[in-house]
């Protein structure tokens, strides 16, 4: 097996530091989520932070800045793989290729790992799989592929959703309580015009992917305020300060809200729209996070009662 590259070890060390030091500042309780990570490199895969001992792995030592051990096996996943799922039977595992293979700079890659770590929080909730199944969206599929392939009426709802998305972008940039209330009302009308099954799928995707993007953005903003970046990480050639990365993520959310359409981008639109709804909920000045895992899938429920 090849040794773990020092740059990969540096990126992983920073991602693990955000899991340990920043995640709970962003979202109380997030730090208790599993942190299993499988790094896919050319020729080998390295498994970190796991209680599992899968067949086919051998223990290897890793040098600074991780200074510990990992489990290693020959490469099986594609080098640009990026997903979170129970790869080794228990806890959800982040399976991720190197930054270069996934087309990301170091800081964007680290924050993407935190995005996936938020999925670990979602998937490790003891009621997640039963409540997801109860939505009745799988159509007999037991592989989970229905989450990607569900036949949502993207083309037929594209224009009305795009209009809502542009209004959401304006509210994220320029908070306005009266316009915010009108937006929520119009979003409810949009959702009510869908058939119930499609509404459930929309709500699941906004809850799951959109709030993971929101958590990624809030992680960057929080790290910019509180994280003292070590020299071994900031000396990477493609290092980007967290404040700049946060600005890029926020800009990406706004660009997605204003430029993506259901007809062209299909489920990709849920990332920006769900993140925008999370930012809108923050404007409501209500602590909605404690309800997130307890009362799943319908972000509009987290709004404060009308006065």
Residue 55 shares a structural domain with residue 79: yes
Q: Out of 75, 99, 124, pick the residue that ends a domain.
A: 124
* Whether 115 contacts 215, CB under 8 Å: yes
pTM of the model: 0.95
Identify the pLDDT of residue 103: 96
Q: Out of 93, 124, 155, pick the residue that ends a domain.
A: 124
Within-domain flag for 26: yes
Identify the pLDDT of residue 307: 60
Taking all residues of the chain, what is their mean pLDDT, rounded to a whole number?
95
Q: Out of 124, 141, 157, pick the residue that ends a domain.
A: 124
Neighbours of 6 (CB within 10 A): 14
Residue 266 shares a structural domain with residue 285: yes
Within-domain flag for 16: yes
Identify the pLDDT of residue 306: 66
d(CA 113, CA 38) in angstroms, rounded, equals 11
d(CA 120, CA 95) in angstroms, rounded, equals 11
Tell me how many domains the chain contains: 2
3-state secondary structure of 51: coil
Q: Each residue of 141-166: pLDDT tens digit?
A: 888 899 999 999 999 999 999 999 99
Contacts made by residues 80-85, CB under 8 angstroms, sequence distance 24+: 81/40, 82/112, 82/116, 83/116, 84/116, 84/119, 84/120, 84/123, 85/123, 85/144
Residue 189 shares a structural domain with residue 144: yes
Residue 148 shares a structural domain with residue 246: yes
Within-domain flag for 81: yes
- By mean pLDDT, which of 31-45, 136-150, 217-231 is the weakest? 136-150
Q: What kind and span of H or E run contains 105? A: none
- pLDDT band for 7, please (50, 70, 90 cuts): very high
Mean pLDDT, residues 168-193 taken together: 95
Residue 239 shares a structural domain with residue 269: yes
Can the peptide bond before residue 297 be classed as cis, meaning omega within 30 degrees of 0? no
Identify the pLDDT of residue 304: 83
- pLDDT band for 48, please (50, 70, 90 cuts): very high
d(CA 13, CA 122) in angstroms, rounded, equals 23
Identify the pLDDT of residue 282: 96
Q: What kind and span of H or E run contains 89? A: none
Within-domain flag for 280: yes
Residue 159 shares a structural domain with residue 203: yes
- pLDDT band for 63, please (50, 70, 90 cuts): confident
Residue 114 shares a structural domain with residue 181: no
| Helices within the chain (DSSP H only) | 6-21, 23-26, 99-102, 106-123, 128-133, 146-149, 154-173, 177-193, 196-205, 211-226, 231-234, 242-259, 262-265, 269-283, 289-292
Within-domain flag for 281: yes
Residue 275 shares a structural domain with residue 159: yes
Residue 29 shares a structural domain with residue 120: yes
Q: What is the C-alpha R_g of the chain?
A: 20
Residue 174 shares a structural domain with residue 120: no
Residue 115 shares a structural domain with residue 150: no
Q: Smallest Cα–Cα separation from 50: which of 99, 12, 90, 85?
A: 90
Q: Each residue of 233-271: pLDDT tens digit?
A: 999 999 999 999 999 999 999 999 999 999 999 999 999
Within-domain flag for 146: yes
d(CA 134, CA 2) in angstroms, rounded, equals 45
Within-domain flag for 307: no
Quote the domain boundaries for residue 92: 6-124
* pLDDT surpasses 80 at 192: yes
Within-domain flag for 288: yes
Residue 14 shares a structural domain with residue 138: no
Strands 68-74 and 58-62, sheet pairing: antiparallel
């Amino acid at each position: 097996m090849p040794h773990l590259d020092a740059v990969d070890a540096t990126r992983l060390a920073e991602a693990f530091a955000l899991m340990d030091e920043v995640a709970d500042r962003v979202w109380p309780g997030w730090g208790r989520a599993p942190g299993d990570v499988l790094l896919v490199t050319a020729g080998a895969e390295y498994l970190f932070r796991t209680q599992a001992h899968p067949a086919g792995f051998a223990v290897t030592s890793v040098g600074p800045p991780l200074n510990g051990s990992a489990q290693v096996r020959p490469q099986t996943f594609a080098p640009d793989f990026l997903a979170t799922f129970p790869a080794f039977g228990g806890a959800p595992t982040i399976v991720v290729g190197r930054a270069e293979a996934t087309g990301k700079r170091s800081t964007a890659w680290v924050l993407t790992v935190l995005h996936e770590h938020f999925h670990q929080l979602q998937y490790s909730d003891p009621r997640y799989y039963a409540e997801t199944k109860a939505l009745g969206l799988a159509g007999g599929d037991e592989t989970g592929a229905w989450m990607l392939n569900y036949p949502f009426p993207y083309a037929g709802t594209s224009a009305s959703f795009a209009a809502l998305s542009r209004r959401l972008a304006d509210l994220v940039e320029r908070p306005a309580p009266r316009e915010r209330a009108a937006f929520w009302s119009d979003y409810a009308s949009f959702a009510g015009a869908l058939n119930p099954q499609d509404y459930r799928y929309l709500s699941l995707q906004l809850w799951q992917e959109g709030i993971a993007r929101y958590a990624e953005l809030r992680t960057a903003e929080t790290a910019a305020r509180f994280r003292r970046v070590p020299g071994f990480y900031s000396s990477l050639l493609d290092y980007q300060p967290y404040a700049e990365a946060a600005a890029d993520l926020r800009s990406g959310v706004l660009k997605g809200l204003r430029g993506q359409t259901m007809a062209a981008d299909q489920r990709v639109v849920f990332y920006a729209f769900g993140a925008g709804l999370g930012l809108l909920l923050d404007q409501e000045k209500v602590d909605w996070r404690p309800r997130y895992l307890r009362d799943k899938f319908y972000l509009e429920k987290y709004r404060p009662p009308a006065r």
